[in-house]
Amino acid sequence: MTESTPPGNLPAVNRFGRLESSTQLVTLLVTVALLLTVALAGAAVPFTRATVTRTQNKVAYGQITGGKGKTRPANQGDIVGASNYVLTESESRAELQYDDGSVVRIGQNTIFSFEADSRTLSLKEGTFTFFVPRGQGAGTIKTASLTAAITGTTGKVSRDTIAVLAGEVTLIPSGRKVGAGEFARMMPDGRILIARFDPARAIDGALMAFNGPMPGFDELRLLPGRRFQLAMPDTSDFDALQRAQNLPATLQRTRILIPRPPNGNQPGPMPNPPDPVPPNPY
Amino acid sequence: MRFLPPFALLVLCALVGAQAGEMSSNQSAKEIEDIGVIEEMDANALGGKPSFRSNVQIRSEFSTNAKQTGNHGSGDLIFFPQIEVGFNTPLRHNFAFDIAAKVESGIYTQEQDRGFIGYSIISTLDWRPKINWPRIYVGAEPYRYDSFDTGERITQAVGLTAGTDWGYGFNKGYSLVFAGYSFTNYFSDPTSDSRTQNRAIVGLTHQFSSKMVGTVFYQFTYSDFENVDRRDYRHLLGANLTYQFTQKVFGSVSSTFADNDSSADFASFQAFSLSLGVTVQF
């Protein structure tokens, strides 16, 4: 026996069937997106630890236990954990390298730390430069006054400033974008200024050359604009015609005259031949 | 037509600029040592290092009154090849010095006996008290124009200039609106060409991409001749597009319309020009 469906119900079933298919499609897409997100998140290597690849003068790292900080001198090859913080004194600098290839260069008089899972680079005092390679997962830059999301970015950071040398950062929570060649700064009045910096000065700073050139900083991408700053036009070129053709001396010399009207009304023909001594047209 | 004395205008602009400037940097010396100066780029700046430049340009200009007879039917197409070499260097206390030597020629398509060659040297001393303040400058320009046909000198003069201009950057520094004024006194030989000239310019420059900048501007020039009864009023409307081919090589295309209205009818003309140029800067 074959089960048949009343013809009158067919549209309803089909309609229901389409709805069901749409729902399933949306569910499938969401699931795939979630899986991709999880997969990508899984691909992001947490900032669990970093290797000290170079130090200069007095650099220490440690952790706070029981409200007290306990530090030890940092040397090249030491492993700094996510629970640690890094301290530098005057004229002291350090470079850290993470497992995903990210690089952080810490300036003098700086207190720096990082969080593993959220891949957050935190600055309490001082300065650092950073390079987070593309495709290695998102991260966050946190300072006393600014927080920004990063993905594949190179930049400079101080307490109130994040300058982007390559890539882009997104300020949190405003969502404002700061692109390569721009910086975000918390102004004294609480306003966040986003503006361009002079690309010719992007390479300035001891950290940019500390332990070699800053990775991820494609100088040529940013610097072609170094002399390409907005300027006003030079209009002196347009004076030539006026000077050479149209000044009184030229007009006198070339004997170009407004012929006197013969009857006082209509202009007459050009004098031919010209007067031996041209009268002054003025 | 009366203009404000140049000095009064300079003071006025300086006062306006003083209120418009924005301090965007409070970096400490140690921060600057580690990550360099990060501050809002001066949209008007010419660059921080001494630079040489050379420019080759060809301009074609259609003038409605090539015969200078007051007959606007005597149109002619004129080609202006031009070579310029220049040097710009920053000086102490926010001064800068620029010098440029230029050789230009006018080649007429029909009125070939009017062809000329001109030589000029423009030297300018700039001063911008602070970032985003108006630029104040003085300059001197000796020039000379000779006839191609006869080899005779057409005119020569020394122009002494004082002026100011000011640009206000917006749109994250990608756009610049600017205004300027200058006063020039030309001491000419023959003396009938001696004149004073007041120029005012307003315009807008926008950086479309990291390699392309466009400008539109309007300039008004008022010339008052000292030894003859003549006054000229020139309106110049222009547009320019500059493209950076490499870090040192720029190309530009410009178009202008000039309406030169003179109290001497035969000296009035309109001109439309189109120019192509290449600049090498190093």
8 Å CB contact of A248 and B230: yes
Determine the pLDDT at residue A277: 47
Task: Check CB contact of A209 with chain B, cutoff 8 Å.
Answer: no
Identify the residue among A160, A227, A230, A235 best suited for mutation to test binding to B, counting B beta carbons within 10 A and taking the highest.
A230
Determine the pLDDT at residue A145: 92
Question: What's this model's pTM, rounded to 2 decimal places?
Answer: 0.58
Q: Which token pair is A151?
A: 């993905």
Query: Tens digit of pLDDT for each residue in A21-36?
Result: 555 665 566 556 545 5
Separation of alpha carbons A153 and B160, rounded Å: 51
8 Å CB contact of A163 and B256: no
In chain A, positions 68-127, which contact chain B (CB-CB < 8 Å)? 90, 93, 107-109, 126-127
Q: Transcribe B19-47 into DSSP letters.
A: HH--------HHHHHHH----B--TT---
Identify the residue among B25, B27, B31 best suited for mutation to test binding to A, counting A beta carbons within 10 A and taking the highest.
B31
In chain A, positions 20-39, which contact chain B (CB-CB < 8 Å)? none
Q: Which token pair is B189?
A: 């030989």
Determine the pLDDT at residue B241: 92
Which chain B residue has its CA at the smallest distance from A162's CA?
Answer: B38
ipTM: 0.77
3-state secondary structure of A276: coil
Q: Which token pair is B270?
A: 């309109």
What is the count of residue pairs from A and B with beta carbons less than 8 Å apart?
244
Separation of alpha carbons B202 and B204, rounded Å: 7
Query: Tens digit of pLDDT for each residue in A96-134?
Result: 999 988 999 999 999 999 998 889 999 999 999 999 988
Measured from the Cβ of residue A187, the count of other Cβ atoms closer than 10 Å reads 14
Burial B137-176 (b: 16+ CB within 10 A, else e): bebebebbbbbbeeeeebbbbebebbbbbbbebeebbbbb
Determine the pLDDT at residue B83: 93
Per-residue pLDDT of chain B (282 residues; tens, 9 = 90+): 333 344 343 333 333 333 333 444 578 999 999 999 898 875 544 445 678 888 888 888 888 776 666 566 677 888 999 999 999 888 888 788 999 999 999 998 888 888 899 999 999 999 988 766 788 999 999 999 998 888 888 899 999 999 999 887 777 567 788 899 999 999 999 899 999 999 999 999 887 876 788 999 999 999 999 989 999 999 999 999 988 887 678 888 999 999 989 888 778 888 888 888 888 877
pLDDT band at A225 (very low <50, low <70, confident <90, very high): very low
